[in-house]
Amino acid sequence: MADGEPPAKRQCREEALIKREQDGDISFRYVLNNDDPQNLIYLVGLKNIFSKQLPNMPKEYIVRLVMDRRHRSVALLKRNGTVIGGITYRAFHEQAFGEIAFCAVTSNEQVKGYGTRLMNQTKDFARTLDRLTHFLTYADNNAVGYFEKQGFTKEITMERERWQGYIKDYDGGTLMECVMHPRVCFITLPDLVRRQRIALDDRIRQLSNAHVVRPGLSHFADAAAAGRPRTALHIGDIPGVREAGWGPHLAPQGPRYRLVLDKGGPPLEPSREVLQVFLERLLEHIKGLEDSWPFREQVAVQDAPDYYDIIRDPIALDVMEERLTSRAFYLTLDIFNADLRRLFENCRFYNAPDTIYYKLANKLETQVNNYLTHHIVFEDDLAAAAAAAAAAAAAAGGGVGAGVGGGLGLGGPEVAQVLG
């Protein structure tokens, strides 16, 4: 069974095997050494499969356990009676648990879902015929994943006195447990899961509209087709958002920062116009830096033939300038910053760390961060500056009122000092 296989796919496989059982292509037999000739034939077939699929197990040990009268086996048979897999376990009836000794499917029949179906059949035989409530097994590193998918866990819930001294300890193995609920029929487990899923889905449909599939947004495509500038789409106008429980009180609040356009100038609300001016000046500043020369224009194919095969989302300063000039792309500082950071990440992804381009990306990013540090002020910093101004004014005897007023006006000299 492939690792990471979705449970739904495993369920479909098992349902297909159930259909094959009904058609007689495969069958499962509960066998033990009771001197019945047919059972002995099945046990010999199981011994041969275990010996071949478990080469590290001594053959004498396998024969002794498979043929032991205290052990039970479940054999997977083809239509012609050939054994192609099975599980052997010892049943401790008084303790109501079983210890799985061997589990294998012949190599040319693996990865077909037999392992899951075989385990479910074994659980049901053990539950109904042997009256067992638990399975224990020591799984090696290669088998832990399989047993986990069959409902086994590394957490042992049985009382230690119930099993200690009854099962064999194996070095290098992981003790695992599976609880078998007495009211669960494991051979019809796929149908049970399907009915539960349908019932849960029906209940969800009564409580929500999660099942409603709406068409994709055409707002931006329609604007482009009509030659209109790109505009923001309010979250409340997206079909289904309000029906899902969204309300204006859940709308994201405005930016919690202020922008400084001029050194020493007042922090300003990031309105559309202020943001546009800020980004224009930031972009001009970046283009004017000496280390920005590799990033000013898009990478030419003749200079790096494989660049656009490796970099799936290219960006350059000239592209950013076009987007900024349209006045419809960079509607928020975050969008601009995302393009800017991708500029550096693309460079570092394509170039080796010891190249000049990689080093320039790091150097330019540091310079950009320094610029942003001195031109973006967050509200928490403003509040701290206002508090400091108030404290300074009070200490100087100027009164608390005057100091707070200057701080909240976002234009006092105290705030300017914070901005640098």
Confirm if 140 and 176 have CB atoms less than 8 A apart.
no
The Cα 138–Cα 76 span in angstroms is 22
Any residues with CB less than 8 A from the CB of 141 and at least 6 apart, and which? 172, 174
Q: In this structure, what DSSP letter does residue 153 have?
A: B
Distance linking the first and last C-alpha atoms of the chain: 63
Of 416, 420, 397, 396, the C-alpha closest to 406 is 416
99 is catalytic: yes
In this structure, what are the phi and psi dihedrals at residue 223, rounded to the nearest 5 degrees? -65, -40
Q: Cβ contacts of residue 381 below 8 Å, gap of 6+? A: 418
* Catalytic option among 99, 109, 177, 322: 99
Q: Is the dihedral of CA 252, 254, 255, 257 positive or negative?
A: negative
Q: β-strand 376-378 against 257-259: which pairing, if any?
A: antiparallel
d(Cα 402, Cα 43) in Å, to the nearest integer?
95
Instruction: Name the strand (E) or helix (H) holding 256.
Output: none
Residues classed as catalytic: 99
